[in-house]
A and B are shown apart, each in its own frame.
Chain A
Amino acid sequence: MTRTETSTAPTMDEQTHTSEAESAVKTRRVEMQSRDAQPAPDPSEFAVIDAIRRGETVPATIHDAVEDEPHVLNVQNFRLWYGAAQALFDLNMNIPRGKVTALIGPSGCGKSTFLRSINRLNDLIPSVRTDGELLLNGEPVYAPDVDVIDLRKRMGMVFQKSNPFPMSIYENVVYPLRIDGERRKSVLNEVCEKALRGAAIWDEVKDRLHQPGTGLSGGQQQRICIARAIAAEPEVLLMDEPCSALDPIATLKIEDLISEIGQRYTVVIVTHNMQQAARVSDYTAFMYLGRLVEFGPTAELFQNPKLPETEQYVTGRFG
């Protein structure tokens, strides 16, 4: 089974997307292993997780507080395959507007895949196939007539590893406007300053905007990337483990920044770090093996979750 899936991997666009292909395979492998090895502490306690491991469809536990919020993203029966391997199973969730939503879960549970489905970055992998609905402010994301490029312009994305472009700090930040054909110096200057202030890095780089950012630290680079992501005033800001490659101090700064940005933008953040999810997010979704398990306000999910599995996971005793 696993072998047949690996053989589909080389048909994908080689350099860019091997990581996704691997993760797809990994998802599957985790599934297989868990089926074979059954490492869970006490099966009787974890009914939902066990059902998921058996491949059964279990309705997610979604707190009412989530449903009461106004939503920016509606996900309905969303499914995704890498070739023959299914990575996301019948996701149904509504992401609240103007809040920070954290996606947590063990490695290979499909958090990043889901995040990349929101701005259709998964389109870059030829073998990916999707099904179901995903609505951004009521408009379908996966309709045939959707302009992907325009769609992506409505969202910003920050990646796990900071990826500034080989150009000056200024050009990096105004990149989304440049590709939109914006040439007015005044507009660009204004946006650049606003974005850099928004990313809390203006004071550090304002004197060297037109220099390449040689000598910027990892955290500063990541903040430049955040500035770039918010430069075009996105409807949703997607963050894929933005702090995983940073040292604790830089992480702290970025976390502060996320909390601050969360007051102005809708943020969806994928994280491996429970404390981070607890600190920065308003809502948290717990995913497992491509399925949503529990989704609720962060405080409630961490202190008083409805499922015992969630409690075990957030306290670090499982996963």
Chain B
Amino acid sequence: MSQAPLIQSAGDANEPRHVKRRTPLAVRGEPMLWLTGMALTACIFMIVALLGIVLWNGFATFWPRDIHEVKLDNGSVFLGVPTREESYDPGPARLADIRAESETLPAGSLDDKGLPKRRLYRVGNKEVTGQPFQWVDLMDIESIEEPKDVVLLERTEWGIWLGTPETILLKEERFIPATADGGIPLEGMTQTKWGERRFEREILESTDEGARVIERTYVAETGPDVWELLPEMHRDADKRRARIKSLNKHDVGFINMKMERARLAFREVQLQHEDGKVSDERLAAARATFEEKQETLEAEYEELLEEIRELERIDDRYRIVVRDPTSGAFAPRAQTEPDEPMRLSQIVRVVRANDLGVGGRLGVYFSRWWEFVSEEPREANTEGGVFPVIFGTVMLTILLSIIVVPFGVIAALYLREYAKQGLIISMVRIAINNLAGVPSIVYGVFGLGFFCYTLGNYIDNGPTNPWSPGMWWVGSVGTVVILLCAAVIGALGRPTPGQPPTRRNKILGGAAMMLWLGTLGLFIALIAKSPFFDGFFPARTTFGTKGILWSALTLALLTLPVVVVATEEAISSVPGSQREGSYGCGASKWQTIRRIVLPSAMPGIMTGMILAIARGAGEVAPLMLVGAVKLAPELPFEPYFPYFHLERSFMHLGFHIYDVGFQSPDSEAARPVVWTTTFLLIVVVVTLNLAAIAFRARLRKRTRGGAF
């Protein structure tokens, strides 16, 4: 305990002092200590809880769980993956029944309050069950088994399939020439690369020369055989699928791009011809070139298509039968063909959940994570990966910082270094600070209205109603005249160095300023109303719609105040002695700023950038208006010229969370994706921030070290 200080009572100094036994609590401030400590604890608890819940759910999602074979009291059997359990109130009548027979119910099927418990099973097999999730009352369950041979198939389409793999077969339609005796063997053994295997044939149509048959060769017919061959065959199938996808996407895409370019080049000539700028001969020549190019490209395309068809034919031979015990149906190749077993290549992953040890589960777990971060989404974003989403988010954030940092720093430099501190500058500063408080959706509306529809449309199509050329020239000359006037008046109004400005200086300076503003306005009007500009993309809408560039600009505007404020702070904390030292050496203002102020302020500027990233990367509302989409067909980056397509729309983690969580047709299936995506968003933002912080630390070391 601290000693109670002596408090002198009023009166004669020689009188014995009145000593207080205890200092009041309020004076010692102990309650404040508790209060502040409690507040901090509450904050830490909330942050830890937030991170903990997101991390736990994010991490748990991909862990492979056991598959139950559930036998119900009514004799039906189904396969399912337990998802969660809850108690529920089935209504008074039913509850009374349950309570009446509670003695006979299996243990654990009622909770403490006597309410029945139920469990949600993920049953998959959407083609036969219709709904992939199913609630089961615990009291209805007769027995639960975990058979080793059941598998969970993650399929490219239609979600998961639970069942027992039975056969792997090769199925193809082919022509068999008739043998010498005129018959065609309908059964027999044939040599395959896996050894001697049984085959069956089914004649479709027969002629003298032979017959078209459907031939099924059974590669594996028992569970163990299937298991032995499946991994290797699945790997091959995967490769075929990847190859087909790559051909479809890249090679076909490349030809399409060349085709589109040729078409646009021709269209441009055509448009110029309509305006009378291009002669008929040149139009004809352009048409000929275009047609020729089109022909070669089409030939190339045909060739490619042939290759793809051949690959698909081969791919279609490899089939697997995985049977669902409830309905007896097997996983079909397509929903409309219940008799056709699925292709091997339609399997993304086979998880034999009940037969996996911890190592095997970890393998599945990490392979699912890898798929999640490196693949494209499937099934309305509820399955597959989020690679394009991560890519979009990171690219947007980088783009945003590239735009906002220079802008903010330049603005802050003027505010702090050049502008005369006074009422107007204070108002500007307050306005900038208040920008940070404007609801972000407002920026979204602005971005859509100005960037997308006005600026974007201008870039695409040129001015909507341009001035006539004569008027434009008059305007240009007027602008130049006003510009000259501004320069002359500004020069006349310059105060004598070393002397404070006079009244005349101030008036002339104000006039010059107004003229400068007028020039700027006229200049913008001249660009916006130019009759000589018809847009860069008259043939199609390119920039005049949602896009990553507009999103980055909108977010840059949103985060500008953060950067300006941080930079101003950093600039003003550069010691005046260093500026004076620099001026004393004969440095100009700009040299001082560039060589002394900016390097010293760099860490502070980086802080502003970090804050801007933190705010910008997590923003969703404006992006919904100006760029983020549910499913972007293409990334804003391509491996061929011009690489970056800033006009394209993109996917964003924040918007993805909203979309998957609330706009998805299958909310139960989407729930885990929401958690993992949230987790990823945190990871992306934290990573970007850490990168910036590390960069700042390096800068700081350099300048600190340099600052003696």
Contacts and interface: CB of A to CB of B under 8 A. Distances in A.
Interface in A198-228: 211-214, 216, 221, 225, 228
Interface in A219-249: 221, 225, 228-229, 232, 238
Given A212-B706, A214-B708, A221-B708, A179 B591 contact: yes
A157 B499 contact: no
Nearest to B581: A163
B707 A166 contact: yes
A166 B583 contact: no
A163 B497 contact: no
Contact of A176 (B498, B585, B600, B705): B585
Contact of B497 (A19, A123, A166): A123
Interface stretch (B157-165, B230-238, B434-442, B572-580): B572-580
Given A17-B576, A165-B595, A167-B706, A130 B584 contact: no
Contacts of B708: 162, 164, 212-214, 216, 221
Given A13-B421, A161-B577, A165-B595, A152 B497 contact: no
B581 A15 contact: no
Interface string B445-462: 000000000000000000
A165 B588 contact: no
A123 B498 CA distance: 5
Which of B421, B580, B588, B705 counts the most chain A CB atoms within 10 A? B580
Given A16-B580, A214-B705, A179 B595 contact: yes
Interface in B58-74: none
B297 interface: no
A71 to B, nearest CB: 22
Interface string A146-178: 101111111111010111111110000001101
Contact of A179 (B575, B576, B580, B585): B585
Nearest to B602: A166
Nearest to B500: A129
Contacts of A14: 421, 572
Interface in B388-428: 420-422
B574 to A, nearest CB: 8
A149 to B, nearest CB: 5
A127 interface: yes
A129 B599 CA distance: 33
A190 B86 CA distance: 83
Contact of B586 (A123, A126, A149, A211): A149
Nearest to B705: A212
Nearest to A211: B705
Contacts, number: 120
A165 B498 CA distance: 27
Interface in B455-502: 496-500
A176 B585 CA distance: 5
Interface in B551-610: 572, 575-588, 591, 595-596, 599-600
A101 interface: no
Interface residues of B, number: 35
Contacts of A238: 584
B664 interface: no
B703 interface: yes
Contacts of B591: 179
A175 B581 CA distance: 10
B582 A165 contact: yes
A157 B599 contact: no
Given A164-B708, A167-B599, A144 B585 contact: no
A163 B580 contact: yes
A168 B706 contact: yes
Contact of B582 (A126, A175, A216): A175
B706 A166 contact: yes
Contacts of A148: 497
User: Of residues B422, B591, B707, B708, which shows the largest number of chain A Cβ atoms within 10 Å of its Cβ?
Assistant: B708
A18 to B, nearest CB: 8
Contacts of B421: 11, 13-14
Contacts of B599: 166-167
A149 B498 contact: no
Contact of A225 (B422, B500, B581, B583): B581
B492 to A, nearest CB: 13
Nearest to B573: A15
A141 to B, nearest CB: 9
Contacts of B576: 15-17, 19
A210 to B, nearest CB: 11
A155 B497 CA distance: 18
Given A14-B421, A166-B599, A214-B708, A146 B583 contact: no
A286 interface: no
A159 B586 contact: no
A212 to B, nearest CB: 4
B497 A146 contact: yes
A119 interface: yes
Contacts of A295: none
Given A149-B588, A165-B596, A167-B706, A142 B498 contact: yes
A175 B497 CA distance: 25
B705 A152 contact: no
A159 B584 CA distance: 9
A303 B703 CA distance: 49
Contacts of A149: 586-588
A299 interface: no
A152 B706 contact: no
A152 B583 contact: yes
A120 interface: yes
A232 B586 contact: yes
A238 B702 CA distance: 30
A156 to B, nearest CB: 7
A124 interface: yes
A228 B500 contact: no
Contacts of A155: 584
A39 to B, nearest CB: 33
B571 to A, nearest CB: 9
A163 B500 CA distance: 29
Nearest to A142: B498
Nearest to B421: A14
B698 to A, nearest CB: 14
B577 A163 contact: yes
A144 B497 contact: yes
Nearest to B585: A176
Contact of B572 (A15, A164, A179): A15
A303 to B, nearest CB: 34
A32 B546 CA distance: 70
B499 to A, nearest CB: 6
A152 B586 contact: yes
Contacts of A47: none
Given A163-B578, A165-B706, A121 B584 contact: yes
Contacts of B584: 119, 121, 152, 155-157, 159, 229, 238
Nearest to B572: A15
A155 B583 CA distance: 11
Contacts of B704: 166
Contacts of B600: 166
Contacts of A142: 498
B594 to A, nearest CB: 10
A176 B586 contact: yes
22 contacts: A19-B576, A121-B580, A121-B584, A142-B498, A144-B496, A146-B497, A150-B586, A152-B583, A156-B584, A157-B585, A159-B584, A163-B577, A164-B708, A166-B578, A166-B599, A166-B703, A167-B595, A180-B586, A212-B708, A214-B705, A225-B581, A232-B585
Given A11-B421, A130-B499, A167-B599, 13 more contacts: A126-B420, A129-B500, A152-B586, A157-B581, A161-B577, A165-B706, A175-B585, A179-B586, A180-B586, A213-B706, A214-B705, A228-B585, A232-B586
Interface of A: 11, 13-17, 19, 119-121, 123-124, 126-130, 142, 144, 146, 148-157, 159, 161-168, 175-176, 178-180, 211-214, 216, 221, 225, 228-229, 232, 238
Closest 3 CB pairs of A and B: A153-B586, A157-B584, A16-B576
